Structure 1
Amino acid sequence: MGLKILPVMLAACWSASSVAAAVDKAALDTQIQQLEQLHQQYQSELEKLKQERMDYEESVDSDSIASLKAMMDRVHIFGFFRAKYDHDDREPIGSGANNKHFYMDLEGKMKVSEDWSANFQIETRKGYTVTQSWRNGDNGSSDQDGTLQRIWVEGRPGGVGVTLGTKWWGYGFQAVPFGHAADGVQLDYDVLPGWNAKAFWLRPRQGDLVTMPNSSDISIAGANLTGSLTDDLQTSLTFATNDNKNDAQKMDRMGAFELQYRLTDDILLRGAFAMTNAEHHNTSQEYRIDYKDTDLAQIGSYGIYFRYIDFRRYGDYSHDDEWGSLPSDAKGGILGVKYVLFKNVVWETFYSVQERFRSGGSDAGAYRHLFRTQIDFHF
């Protein structure tokens, strides 16, 4: 009896599996038809989009696109943000807490024509301590409140460079003869291949920061010649004169001589010597050696440097004081390192020991110890 039932059961199972297979095949055919329909709809929509793109490109005037690109090329915005920390001696030996700050430099270059461009610079400094002398009144940091402090034009009509306006001016390889903001005009010309001559007239705007007393009340006229003596050796010569009513500025002439020598692919040597006709304390000098250098586009690139300074009280017109780290009437050394942490982000740290007030006074010969670290984000 059991053996007779077995074939019946097997036949029933086979029949059920056949029905299930037929159902699955019908469902699969339905899905395939749906996919084919979706594909046809996609192809149809794609053809419509292609046609719309062609219609749009045909409707857009190529001259309009070129005009738009030209307008975009006329404006160039760049600069950097800096976070800085100083561990410095108290005033007057050091700068105290004055240089613990966040800072942004924002600059713009607007193309006027093929020969001319208009420029601006905005500096904004925000100290994160309350004991900063520049916070107090108009004699403090009113020139760094986020306004357009510096505006000037640059041009090169007929091969003669012209710069006119208010800007930061620096002469020489290390800005030892002059390196501060001023109102002025400059003409420059490439006299020979690799040689450029400049004639300038300046009126300093930061009289409280520069070497000469009351320097914001005087005018400076001078010339600079910079060029290559060999492929690896460059020189810069600067000579200038200034107003000196009743000997208030202590000098009325200044000259500077500088050399820059590429010793190897990784070692760069620089030296600057300036001298005025002041009666005393009338020389300034700086010597620097750099090993390697940073490349903002190359993460991990670095540079190490050592600087020796000897800035006498009246030894130059107005060297760049680099946020108080290079004061006048000081002698000492600076050892520093720079490192690219991320693309366009560079970290710098240095330590400096300086003998201050060498020309005399109650703090004559006192030593300053400055540690500074900062991170710059370039854009």
Structure 2
Amino acid sequence: AKDSCYNPQMSYGEDVIARIIYAEKPKGLAMMQELVVDAINKVIGNILKNATPPDDSGYGAIMRDEINSITIAGNTTMTHLLLELEPDNIRRSPYVPVSTFFPPIPATDINLDLPLHCMALIYPAISSYVGGDIVAGVMGSGMYRTELLTLFIDVGTNAEIVIGNKDWLACAACSAGPAFEGGGITHGMRAVEGAISDFSLNPATFEPMNVTEGNKAPLGICGSGLLIIVATLFEHGVLNQSGKFNDLDTPRIREGRSGKEYVLAWEDESAADHDIVINEVDIDNFIRAKGAIFAGVATLLEQVGLQVSDLEQIILAGGFGSYIDLDSAMSVGLLPELDPDKVVYVGNGSLMGAWMSELSNHIRQDVVKVVRKMTSFELSEIAGFKDQYVASIFLPHTDLSLFPKAAKRSRDKLN
């Protein structure tokens, strides 16, 4: 059985920094802890309600008292808020959390509605912005056992990057902003009914074809849709390398409040009371987000004496990573160009690692060894990161030799 819910802390802050600021207020930390504990207890209750063994199994319903352990994997801030540890220094230089290792504790000590004998096993963190969720993802994906030079990337508001193999691991986090989750976009939204999640374009008329979640009338743009829209507009010459609209003879491109914009759906086609558009400010926010991620990858590789071309495998994790369109991601310069057969989707890597840890003592024992192998880099303190970032805020990049397939497509269009 399984269950999930949105993080109720979102009401007090869309990102971890906002939640830390709230936690610094009087009684703020207790409130943050209470919200996340209530959510976990609700999920546990729903799972128990649905965890009914098959009739022919000979087992009755699973009881709460039968639960012996719970494994928890979250980012460093969420782990601190759950344990009611002060998260203040996570957002202040030198960005040192209260702790990165957490001993097993009785689940009741953190107010989880579980029996007294149930132990909470909490994944360790690496640094303030590379947390236990990423360690769990490395474990669950098997990255720590492969000989291939692998890039593990969890794409979200904060993109966490791990590079290495069974012998060594280097990691870093970069702030990509909320664009990949629909935030900071004029008509951005989460991937719910009505969100444009796929897109294609008539190359002769520049008329769009939108595919939405639930096949409903368009209401906005989700993160995966944003990626495909920008990539498609760029590949068809609607956008230039700077993310600006070219002068084309189509009513879909017009001047708007935030510069030029492309109309994805007219008001009478949409479920909103306005046209659904994507404008140059939205595209700029997207380019900055994807540029931060690629610059993080390139900088981290540079720090260990390697190049993007040395990568042998990419593992994509996280909500956005599960639905990412590879061709689009590579054509805009979000991900390095690599044979699609060498890209692995693992979905919720954190959940996978927690699940495997519950089922295997071997995995639990390996966690400490893996954490000791992981070297964390603070990108903001690396001089070359800024140069990499500036080079990455174009479509796909200023150095087209890094994206030979995208460069070839551009040459073919010119010819």
Question: Do they superpose with TM above 0.5?
Answer: no
TM-score (normalizing by structure 2) = 0.24
Which protein has the larger Cα radius of gyration, Structure 1 or Structure 2? 1
**Which structure is higher in strand share?**
1
**Which structure is higher in helix share?**
2
* Greater relative contact order structure (CA < 8 Å, 6+ sep): 2
TM-score (normalizing by structure 1) = 0.25
